[in-house]
Each structure stands twice: as C-alpha cells, then as structure tokens.
Chains A and B, each alone.
Chain A
Amino acid sequence: MSLEIQDSEFDIVIAALQPNLTTFFEAWRPFFSRFHIIVVKDPDLDEELQIPTGFDVKVYTKSDMGVLGDTSINFSGHSCRYFGYLVSRKKYVISIDDNCLPAKDNGGLIVDAVSQHMSNLKTPATPFFFNTLYDPFRKGADFVRGYPFSLREGVECMLSCGLWLHNADYDPMTHVVKRNQRNTTYVDAVMTVPLGAMMPVSGINVAFNREVLGPVMFPGLRLRKDGKHRWDTLEDIWNGLCAKVVCDRLGYGVKTGLPYVIRSDVEAGQALESLKEWEGVKVMDDVLPFFQSVKLSTTATTVEDCVKELASIVKEKLGPQNAIFARAADAMEEWTKLWESHGAQSS
C-alpha cells in the first residue's frame, strides 16, 4: 500500500531570512543530518549566514540566482525558497521556515517532522470521501463503516501541509487583535483535503513531490507591499490553491495536519505596522471564488499543461480586477519556462 521512499530522494530546502541559523540547525540536527540540505539566502539579506558544521549543505545566494538570466520572478523574502525547488535534483522536497523548531507531541516526545512528512507522502490520500477517523492508513485506524470499498485504494499524495504550535500562521489583523493567543492544541491527525475543497496552504511547513508538482510550486502572487513577515505575503496561499486545483484535476492528493513544528513569536508584536497597507484584506475575497469555480479542461493531462491553462484563465478572469493578478499570471508562465530549462531534471 505505501510507497518505498529513500532518504536520498529528499532535499530539505530552507529559506534563510535571518543570518544566524545556528539555533535552527542545532535543534533540527537529529532529523536533518541524514539529508542533503539546500539553503537559499534571501537576496535582500546582506550579512553572512552562520550555519553549523556537520550537515550536507549547499548554500545558494543572489549571485547563484543569476544563472536564471533575466527573469521576472522575484525571489526576495520568503519567495527565495522557490529557487531551492528549482535547483533541487531530488524527487521530494521538505521546506520549513527558519524560525521554526521541532515541536513536542502530547506525550512530550519531540516530533520528527521530516519523517512525518515522508509518511504522509508515502501513504495514499483519500480525497473522494471523507473518513471520519481521518487518515485510514495510520496505525490503529482504518476506513469506517460506510466508506465505499472501491475508494479505499486512494491516490498518491503529492503535497503534505503541516501545522504550527505557539505562533500560528495568522493574518496581521488577527495577530493584532489576538496578540496574546498562542496555539497550544496538538491535534493528533493527518487528513486528506477532499476533492473540490479549497484550503489555505501555509508555506511554513510543507513537503511535496517535486518531480510531479514542481511546475505548480511557484511564487506567483505578490502583494504590492510584500514583506519579510509571513503575514505580509500570500504567495504560498496562492501557490496552494493552484496546486489543489491541479491535484484535483489530475487525481492527486493533498494532506493536512501533522506534523507540527513550533514557531517562534519573535516578530508577533510587529503586525500592527503591516496593517496600514495590507492589501491582503480584500485579495482573498476575489481569489477564492475564482479558484472554487475554475475548471481545467480534460485535455490538460500534465501539471505543466494545467499550469499554462490556469495562468491564461487567471490573466483573463482575474487580471482585469487587479494588476497583482495579471502579474501572478505572468509569473506562472515564467515559472513553467524556468522549470523546463532549470528545474525539470531529477537525479
């Protein structure tokens, strides 16, 4: 039932938005040390990166991005990690924000987020019918009464979306209004996001099949005042919606839930500054109805085809509403070109 996945098929991609990654890497050492790691430095970051020794790490910086030539894709801030997706040569990628550390589960044990993501990608997803005991492939669980037998094989999981304890991924408004709220609930479940259901994918803690999904894992949507805090961006949300539409079209699965990481709140108090010009308040109200109603043609049978078609529909339907959507469509088209020339190969 589950796929055989080797450690050597994984790359860990870390976007460095802060120079000192010592605490980060030391905390993740037990779980990262057996993997190849790609660190992509935010092109706007001037200071030298500090990364402890003992890891198989390759660091990419602004000058490495020059290999792409003249491109309209903006890799600054959190978007720099997508460069890592492009240059990775592995089948799978796991990406975690540099302000997240391993969490503890309800039993007090440190969670190996990497292994959990691997497990999510290895076992089938079940998007066609909701299983009330969540992931039927987990130990001690199964499909419940009333779950059609023909749907129990599931489909391959292409995207695994993890969660965050402590500083949850909220928009700046929520951060300001609920400034003391911290997420302390560890929900011990992984579940498949049903076919047709849309969800906000947070880029803070994700893993995916790069070989298949790579062409749709792009930084498309940039807010006019895109910043260095997660709440200044919606690029991952846009990415996730595109990926979900494509997965639904092609019969792939998306999971959400475990693993948790614990996210620091070093920046939490600064949300108020971001509110003044936060375009994000209205953007999602336009974006979501679009994604809920978009239909890709049956002739789009590959991820690349789907992305090209989606980009043109975005340009046509959303482009006129707001220039950021027209630019997103351009970025999507640009990404498919970059993927073809720089991203496609796996080793």
Chain B
Amino acid sequence: MAPQLKDELDIVIPTIRNLDFLEMWRPFFLPYHLIIVQDGDPSKTIKVPEGFDYELYNRNDINRILGPRASCISFKDSACRCFGYMVSKKKYIYTIDDDCFVAKDPSGKDIDALAQHIKNLLCPSTPLFFNTLYDPFADGADFVRGYPFSLREGVPTAVSHGLWLNIPDYDAPTQLVKPRERNSRYVDAVMTIPKGTLFPMCGMNLAFDRDLIGPAMYFGLMGDGQPIGRYDDMWAGWCIKVICDHLGLGVKTGLPYIWHSKASNPFVNLKKEYNGIFWQEDIIPFFQAVTLPKDCDTVQKCYVALSQQVKDKLGKVDPYFTKLADAMVTWIDAWDTLNPGSKATANGIAKGK
C-alpha cells in the first residue's frame, strides 16, 4: 500500500545536534518530505542521512526569508521549529524531536507513529460529548449507548497529540524528584479532548492539519534573550485549543507512542521553566476564560484577537507577554506573507490555497 498522504504531509524536525535518529525512522519517513530547522550556530553543518528528500533552514535562512519579521522565531530553543510550519506548502505537518525513536507496541511490533497520526487526522473528532469507549472510529469500537445520534458525524480533526514511552515529559521539579521514573504503560486509546478543556500539548510527537489550524501553531518567544523556555509547545497548545473550540475543530490525544530516549538536564530545565511555573498559574485561568468574538471566523482572525487579549490581560503579569503578543501578530503577518490566499474558515474548509 502506498504511504498515505506522502505528497500532502511534511515532517518538520528542529535540530541543533545531528539527525542520526532518522536512521531508525527510515522505513516510515523515507517517502515523505522533511523540513529541517537548524537551531543554533548556522555555520555548523547538519548531516542528513542519505536518501531523504529534505529542505534545511538555518538561522541565516530564517533571517533572509523573513527579514525583520524573523524576530518572532526563537533562537536556541526548539520553538524555532514553527518556522518549518510556516514555509511548508503541504496540508499536514508531523513534527518530532531528534531524540525520539520508534517504540514497540505490547506485541513487540514497531509502531508506525506517522501512520497513526494520519489516521487520527483523517478521522473525525468528537469534542461535544465524551465517548467512554474513547475513539468511536477505531476498529472494534463505536459510540456508546446514550451518545446522541446527531453528534455521531463528529467534527474535523485539527491536531493529533501523541505520547511517549520511556522518558516521560515531566517538568523539571518532577524530573528532580523522580529521576528514575519511566513511562512503561501503553494505553491503547486515542480520544478527543472535550470542548472547553485545556491540556498541556507536547511538541515531541505532534501532527496537525496546517490548513485547519496552522497559523495558530506559533511556538512563541523562547530561548536566547527570553525569560522563559520549555513552554513553547504549551503556549501553542493553549492557543490552538481555544481556537479549535471556537471554530468547531477537534484535538485528539493518545496513540501513537514514540520512544523518548533522552532526559534533558533537569537543572538546566529548572532555570528555563522557572518563570513558566509561576506564570502558568495566571496563564491557565486566562485561557480558560478567553472568549473570541463571533466574527472571528478564520484562524488568523482568532489568533490576532487572542493576541490582543494576551496583551491586555497577561501584559499585567509581565512585560514578556506584551512582547509575546506583538510577536504573535508578527507571526501571522509572516504566515500570511509566505502563504498568500490561504485562510481556513470556521467550518474547517480552507478557502483557496
């Protein structure tokens, strides 16, 4: 069977080291186009394993392509990966970290994470009522008794959030307290995150429909020169969920699993996360209370409206958020410049390409 969506999906990989991990993914990734976003020193050469079809962007490329708007793309943080989302010309994106490998399912079989993400994206979501048997479209499952028939068509899926075996995605304090904990529990389910519920979105193993939600997948200002790190994917996750809820799109979490091999240094992480740990106490209530105007019927309109609210409400918490709100607008500007004529509408159908 031909690899699904091979001409419609790009794999975006941020890296500062090397791409050796791609060797293990070769059987699954080879048919797809890769977008490598090289963080850090642009004079370093990142070797891409033989045979892959890719384009690679380093900091010089980002500056050249975006000009002054390059200020919205983080440096020395994997948040820079969102540049890859912007330059992609495909409908779907799969992003994965360079320390994530192929995991095995309980039967010992290698997990084709990309195929599962594609399945998740191509099947509807069900955010309006929680199905107790999880994904009703999975083989062997269905909607349970009591599930309204009018809701069984579901809504389009914008995001597929995968999980990790081995090193779990813990924050620095938890890593320090539980340095030996490993996630060995394979939970055989995909589920839709209910409308109105926020979640911590991890960018290690993530796929999304660029046409439906791409402009909201900005990973924020992190890393060099910024007071915060390791909250890039979190920020994007809160933004996309609020917008998906507003536009009637679905977000799934669960399968597929990848094998996360590297635990980053918890002391370094603590320094990066420090502000985030305190700020999230204000950020979460902010996102929980956000309402977007009814006339925001495109992702871009939603995102710009959101940035205004970030400036008004979170700007009081720290000046960083004022900068971030401006960067959100710069991002949309840059996105629209690089992707002219592409605006996703409220019912999830992209107008033009």
Contact = CB atoms under 8 A, between A and B. Distances in A.
Interface in A104-146: 106, 129-134, 138, 140-146
A160 interface: no
> How would you classify the secondary structure of chain B's contact residues: helix, strand, loop or mixed?
loop
A144 B169 contact: yes
A146 B281 contact: no
A199 B196 CA distance: 14
A200 B136 CA distance: 13
A199 B198 contact: no
Interface string B140-159: 11111111111100000000
Contact of B146 (A140, A168, A184, A234): A234
A72 interface: no
A288 B184 contact: no
B284 A148 contact: yes
Given A130-B197, A185-B141, A144 B129 contact: no
Contacts of A143: 170, 174
Interface string B303-328: 00000000000000000000000000
A183 B186 contact: no
A202 B183 contact: no
A284 B168 contact: no
Interface stretch (B54-62, B83-91, B187-195, B341-349): B187-195
Nearest to B196: A196
B5 interface: no
B134 interface: yes
Given A169-B144, A188-B188, A230-B145, A194 B181 contact: no
Interface in A146-177: 146-151, 161, 163, 168-171, 173-174
- Indicate the member of A106, A146, A170, A281 with the most B CB atoms within 10 Å: A146
A337 B184 CA distance: 49
Bin chain A's interface residue count: 35 or more
A193 interface: yes
Contact of A145 (B129, B131, B141, B170): B170
A145 B145 contact: no
Contacts of B202: 132, 144-146
- Indicate the member of A161, A182, A200, A292 with the most B CB atoms within 10 Å: A200
Interface stretch (B10-18, B41-49, B230-238): B230-238
Contacts of B197: 129-130, 194-197
A285 interface: yes
Contacts of A200: 129-132, 144-147
Contact of A148 (B147, B151, B280): B280
A217 to B, nearest CB: 16
Contacts of B151: 288
A182 B253 contact: no
Contacts of B187: 134, 187-189
Given A130-B199, A132-B199, A146 B280 contact: yes
A161 B146 CA distance: 14
Contacts of B189: 185, 187, 189
A256 interface: yes
B149 A284 contact: yes
Contacts of B142: 168, 170, 174, 178, 181
A28 interface: no
B217 interface: no
Contacts of A151: 284
A129 B281 CA distance: 12
A144 B168 contact: yes
A186 B106 CA distance: 12
Nearest to B191: A191
A131 B196 CA distance: 14
Given A144-B168, A145-B200, A200-B129, A183 B183 contact: no
B109 interface: no
Interface string B225-262: 00000110110010000000000000001000000000
A231 interface: yes
Nearest to B195: A197
Interface in B107-143: 128-134, 138, 140-143
Contacts of A187: 134, 187-189
A237 interface: yes
B8 interface: no
A39 B16 CA distance: 65
Interface in A301-329: none
Nearest to A287: B148
- Indicate the member of B106, B132, B163, B237 with the most A CB atoms within 10 Å: B132
Contacts of B129: 198-200, 288
B53 interface: no
A131 B254 CA distance: 11
A140 B186 contact: no
Contacts of B200: 129-132, 144-147
B185 interface: yes
Nearest to B184: A140
B164 to A, nearest CB: 9
Contacts of B201: 146
Nearest to B279: A148
25 contacts: A132-B161, A132-B199, A140-B183, A142-B174, A144-B170, A146-B201, A163-B133, A169-B145, A170-B145, A182-B140, A183-B133, A185-B189, A187-B187, A187-B189, A189-B187, A194-B196, A196-B194, A197-B194, A198-B129, A199-B129, A200-B132, A231-B145, A234-B145, A237-B146, A284-B147
Interface of A: 106, 129-134, 138, 140-151, 161, 163, 168-171, 173-174, 178, 181-189, 193-202, 230-231, 234, 237, 240, 256, 280-282, 284-285, 287-288, 292
Interface of B: 106, 128-134, 138, 140-151, 161, 163, 168-171, 174, 178, 181-189, 193-202, 230-231, 233-234, 237, 253, 273, 277, 280-281, 284
Given A197-B130, A197-B197, 14 more contacts: A129-B199, A143-B174, A144-B168, A145-B169, A146-B171, A146-B234, A168-B142, A171-B144, A183-B140, A183-B141, A187-B189, A188-B187, A199-B131, A200-B145
